[in-house]
Chain A
Amino acid sequence: GNSVTQMEGPVTLSEEAFLTINCTYTATGYPSLFWYVQYPGEGLQLLLKATKADDKGSNKGFEATYRKETTSFHLEKGSVQVSDSAVYFCALSDRNDYKLSFGAGTTVTVRA
């Protein structure tokens, strides 16, 4: 079945540092890939997505590229801010299904 594996957290960074959160997946066929973010006390919200190989999703300075050859969708941001402190979830959905499978989540804390 489909599954997502994320790097374990927590991750603590200083402001303006570079952030990478690794995500690899297992799926049959060609899934769509997502990163969701959860700020404290809130529900998840979509950060970015990619629907086919070599697609790059981007939003709010975050980027992730769909790598079919390595079955990966790593999240990166070149210069983090304190406001980026949140839990980040990698997720996938099969093209013929509407449900999402989520990774365990990675807690990121950015210090001023």
Chain B
Amino acid sequence: DAGVIQSPRHEVTEMGQEVTLRCKPISGHDYLFWYRQTMMRGLELLIYFNNNVPIDDSGMPEDRFSAKMPNASFSTLKIQPSEPRDSAVYFCASSYSKGHIPSGANVLTFGAGSRLTVL
């Protein structure tokens, strides 16, 4: 498997523009997570999905952020309109729940990240 694939790797845009980040999880994984990494705040969980359904979006900063997972092999994180404070590295990660009983050791596989710079 090629692992978790994110695109674009780098994005530079101007304030007010729409940004769309994409993620392809590992085939067979039923959980997908979006994290944001900044120097000031570290790693923050934005939202996560189970079987394509959003489970917890309490980490999404504000209404400018939205995430979708139309099928098991694709997810997007959209920022509209973007602001300079959104500049960060955005990571997608996926995991496999091993059935309905929590495994107690949920191992995430991360993508390489999308570095966003909003000018």
Contacts from A to B (Cβ < 8 Å): 32, 34, 41-46, 49, 51, 89, 93, 95-105
* Count of chain B residues with a beta carbon within 8 Å of a chain A beta carbon: 24
- B105-A51 in contact (CB<8A): yes
- The contact of B112 among A43, A93, A103, by CB within 8 Å, is A43
Q: Of residues B4, B33, B42, B50, which shows the largest number of chain A Cβ atoms within 10 Å of its Cβ?
A: B42
Contacts from B to A (Cβ < 8 Å): 4, 31, 33, 42-43, 45, 48, 50, 56, 91, 93, 95, 97, 102, 104-113
Query: Binding site of B, secondary structure by majority: helix, strand, loop or mixed?
Result: strand
Chain A residues whose CB sits within 8 angstroms of the CB of B109 once the complex forms: 45
- A49-B105 in contact (CB<8A): yes
- Closest residue of chain A to B45 (Cβ to Cβ) is A99
- B110-A32 in contact (CB<8A): no
- B43-A102 in contact (CB<8A): yes
